[in-house]
Amino acid sequence: MRLTSKYWMMALSSLILVGCSGNKANQTTQTTSEKMEEKQVVVSNSSSKTQETSDKENAVLFDEHEYTYDVVTGATQTTFGSTPPAIYTKEEKMKKMFWSNQPPLGLLEGYYYKNEGLFQGNNYGIVEVVTDPKTHDILDVEFTEFASDSYYEPKYASANKRLSDYAFFQADNTRTDETLVTVVNGITFLEQQMRDENRVTGDFLTVKGSSTSARAGFMPLAEQMQDWIREPYENKYFGYAKEMSNGLIGRLQVVTTNDKITEVKYDEYFADEPEKMTEDALKPYYRQSKYYSLDYNKATKNEFINFADKLTEEIKEKQTLDINNQELQKHPSYQTYQELKENIDISKSW
């Protein structure tokens, strides 16, 4: 069965305490009814999001991989701390598992909303929503989760679970042998439902074995935004991402507040599959990003982080995307940045 824009749902009673954006982060918790059902679904992005801009129509493309998931209508029992017997060899398992770090490709513009807070285990969650300026329909939802400062595996303390090698850490554990999913699968599946169904409230299906973050963190944080995202807002989002000739994806994101640049993110994503990249030295970092890959930055002494931080500081300070800093121009990523920023016009109004 293929599920696209509509998903089978079941009512879920819950008690929710959420952290508010703009206030001191509070612990986010959620208790669910004990009744839970499971089913297997095949999911894929049936279509891209298309935005009509003043001069053209631009398709925003999402990950098109087809997934088969065991999904649930409630929180699943955690197996944290257990070490069940292995079902597969590492090689067999990696052939069966797949998750994507691909950001939306193309030009994405709209009103920008953000909520964040702590949830179970002192992990930190961020929910970002971009809506169409004319219809206020949801164009994109993006979840980010950072591990707690005291995470039991020191390497991943404060790490970005989505764009570091954290998902590989999960895949290496025999606890995922049965479900064959990581936290990234849980995140992207929930994002897709919210996009396709144009809502952030109510119950959603979650991936069995990767439902804790979705139900205890992201769903409560997103639900709190239900009224915000239907009204025009002072924050505008301009994002552009494309696959480069070396197989990596370059991504530039800019947020303006009352037409002043307030947030900038520049990153390069390693491909979902190593063979798509032309540089052998980069292939071990597949499904991660340059900014958040722990191993890549250790090997390169944070040179990309330093470049990206300096670049974004310059943009915010000078309030322009036209940066001609000679030091930055020497970095190999500067040309990629130049290509991306040519597609963004932050002076655009709607």
Confidence of residue 29 (pLDDT cuts 50, 70, 90): very low
Q: What average pLDDT does the segment 107-129 reach?
A: 96
Average pLDDT of the chain? Answer: 87
Confidence of residue 80 (pLDDT cuts 50, 70, 90): low
Confidence of residue 349 (pLDDT cuts 50, 70, 90): confident
Q: What pLDDT was estimated at residue 145?
A: 97
Q: What pLDDT was estimated at residue 121?
A: 87
Q: What average pLDDT does the segment 108-134 reach?
A: 96
Spell out the long-range contacts of 250-259 with Cβ–Cβ below 8 A and sequence spacing 24 or more: 250/333, 250/336, 250/337, 250/339, 250/340, 251/103, 251/340, 252/337, 252/340, 252/341, 252/344, 254/315, 254/321, 254/344, 254/346, 255/112, 256/346, 258/234, 259/346, 259/347
Q: What pLDDT was estimated at residue 5?
A: 36
Per-residue model confidence as pLDDT tens digits over 226-272: 999 999 999 999 999 999 999 999 999 999 999 999 999 999 999 99
Is the separation of the CB atoms in 292 and 163 below 8 Å? Answer: yes
Is the separation of the CB atoms in 67 and 189 below 8 Å? Answer: yes
Q: What pLDDT was estimated at residue 21?
A: 37
Q: What pLDDT was estimated at residue 250?
A: 98
Q: What pLDDT was estimated at residue 242?
A: 98
Confidence of residue 73 (pLDDT cuts 50, 70, 90): confident
User: What distance in Å separates the CA atoms of residue 95 and residue 180, rounded to the nearest whole number?
Assistant: 10
Q: Where are the domains of the chain?
A: 2-230, 235-341
Is the separation of the CB atoms in 71 and 40 below 8 Å? Answer: yes
More confident call, 81 vs 18: 81
Regarding the domain delimited by 235-341, which CATH topology (the fold level of the hierarchy) does it fall under? Answer: Sufe protein. Chain: A (3.90.1010)
Q: What average pLDDT does the segment 174-187 reach?
A: 96
Nearest to 162 by CA among 253, 61, 267: 267
pTM: 0.87
Is the separation of the CB atoms in 147 and 165 below 8 Å? Answer: no
